[in-house]
Amino acid sequence: MNVALEIPETVSESLRSGWKDVPRRALEAIAAEACRSGALTAHQVGQLLGHKSRWETEEFLKRVGAWLAYTEADLERDLAALRAARG
């Protein structure tokens, strides 16, 4: 899919002076928000951004504050499964 964005010159100049690669930063912003909202998984974010490893994607998600949706209930469930597996 190709997406075209029209950014007014008055705004684009500020973006270009602050960011080396505006199209890449726009793609990263989309990827981060898509992960936060649940539209994309971390794996899909890595594919979208062309990351070479899961760790590169995890570092990106951490940097942009797109945290893993992991609740206290998830932790308790995982701990119970671990205890059951250990006997």
pLDDT per residue as tens, the chain (87 positions): 999 999 999 999 999 999 989 999 999 999 999 999 999 999 999 999 999 999 999 999 999 999 877 889 999 999 999 999 998
- Ramachandran quadrant class, 13 (left: phi over 0; alpha: psi -120 to 50; beta: rest): alpha
Structural contact between residues 64 and 28, judged by C-beta atoms closer than 8 angstroms: yes
Please report, for residues 30, 46, 72, the alpha-carbon distance to residue 82 in angstroms, rounded to integers and kept in the order given: 36, 29, 15
